Amino acid sequence: MSVEMQHLAINYIALTDSGEHQAHYREALIGRSGAVANLVEQLHLAYNGKPAKGYAAFETEKSPKVALALADWQSGNSDYLGFSRATTDALVQELSQHQLPETGYLLLAHYRYLASEFLLICLLGSKDHFELTEQLELATSRHLDISRMQLAARLDLTEYAVNREQGHYISFIRGRAGRKVADFFLDFLGCAEGTDAKANSQLVLASVEEYLGAAEFAPEEKTAARRQVFDYCEERAKAGQEVVLAELSAVVDPEQENGFLHYCAEQQLAVAEQFPVEVKELKKLVKFNGTGGGLSLSFDEKLLGERVSYDLKTDTLVIKGTPPNLRDQLQRFLQGYSAFEQQGD
């Protein structure tokens, strides 16, 4: 891992007895150390691991507080500590306006990863851990709950500096709490949602399938190409990077590196030169799955036509060879049912 920490600021947002939000500021930045670098790396990995993200850009019609604070810091008119305090103030104000009870530790991590510079802003809760001393006394310690990161956004500072017109230099976690919380975090940042990673992924799915058909790939070649496309996109997403169309083209068809690229242009497919993707959506390249009516099925794409066959007219799926654990459950159930039936006779 090549995460290089630059700055880390932490402030705490609490609720007063009267129900008002109040910020508690740390008087200095967190000093650099191996432990702090490890924390920033964990934040980076936890954020990258979140599957559902949206993409946005600063919006002039919304509150410009975070954007102005960012500009002051980058121009040298304020330091990173001042930027963190201004950002915390903006969050407190937004929480109060939306009347949300959210509290926690606001972390602002500035770091470099590979060739890009990032700013990760996240509001984390905490959890208490219990331990016993050598004298068997009970002690508690408070830990940041990184695994439950939900309110978080990341600004690609490199993209923001050189390619901000694309409008997707800010990513944010959609989370499970619904649109209200997602909208609140966008309002806090002063940005509006733009690029749709899910729509991009669906376009990639359709475009790749079209190309594989037009180029008359053999069935086994299609399976290999789909897996290569998924692996490439997954690797880029996990690294927090966008998919590059020219690179994707070489992955789709290594023998004709620009074949997919030229096909997209000739067919006027609206595939951008660089775009974010959603890994969850791209799994359809390599796996079939579905749930409904008390039935849940999932199998690799390469098994279709071999161990799995589907009749479109009768909507019938035939599976040859079941997983050992499923086979064991079925045999036990049927044997038990037969024995019960014989006893009844």
Which range, of 52-56, 204-208, 311-315, averages the lowest pLDDT? 52-56
Residue-range definition of the domain harbouring residue 221: 197-285
Same domain, 136 and 245: no
Same domain, 187 and 228: no
Q: Check whether 341 has a pLDDT greater than 80.
A: no
Q: What is the mean pLDDT of the chain?
A: 87
Same domain, 220 and 254: yes
Same domain, 30 and 141: yes
pLDDT, one tens digit per residue, over 114-128 is 889 999 999 999 888
Same domain, 297 and 241: no
Q: Check whether 332 has a pLDDT greater than 80.
A: yes
**Boundary residue ending a domain (239, 255, 285):** 285
When pLDDT is cut at 50, 70 and 90, the band that residue 97 belongs to is confident
Same domain, 77 and 130: yes
**Boundary residue ending a domain (193, 217, 247):** 193
Beta-bridged to residue 156, according to DSSP, are 118
Same domain, 73 and 179: yes
Same domain, 17 and 121: yes
Same domain, 63 and 179: yes
Same domain, 126 and 97: yes
Residue 99 has what pLDDT? Answer: 84
HEC assignment per residue over the chain: CCEEEEEEEEEEEEECCCCCEEEECCCCCCCCCHHHHHHHHHHHHHHHCCCCEEEEEECCCCCCHHHHHHHHHHHCCCCHHHHHHHHHHHHHHHHHHHCCCCCEEEEEEEEEECCEEEEEEEEECEEEEEEECCCCCEEEEEEECHHHCCEEEEEEHHHHHHCHHHCCCEEEECCCCCHHHHHHHHHHHCEEECCCHHHHHHHHHHHHHHHHHHCCCCHHHHHHHHHHHHHHHHHHHHCCCCEEHHHHHHHHCHHHCCHHHHHHHHCCCCCCCEECCCHHHHHHHCEEEEEECCEEEEEEHHHECCCEEEECCCCEEEECCCCHHHHHHHHHHHHHHHHHHHHHC
**Boundary residue ending a domain (169, 193, 217):** 193
pLDDT, one tens digit per residue, over 53-80 is 888 899 887 889 999 999 999 999 999 9
Same domain, 96 and 210: no
Q: Check whether 5 has a pLDDT greater than 60.
A: yes
The pTM of this model reads: 0.71
User: Six-digit token pair at 239?
Assistant: 């690294």
User: Six-digit token pair at 60?
Assistant: 């002039």
pLDDT, one tens digit per residue, over 8-49 is 999 999 999 888 999 999 999 999 999 999 999 999 999 988
Residue with structure tokens 């507080």?
65
Same domain, 233 and 322: no
pLDDT, one tens digit per residue, over 174-195 is 765 445 556 788 889 999 887 7
Number of domains in the chain: 3
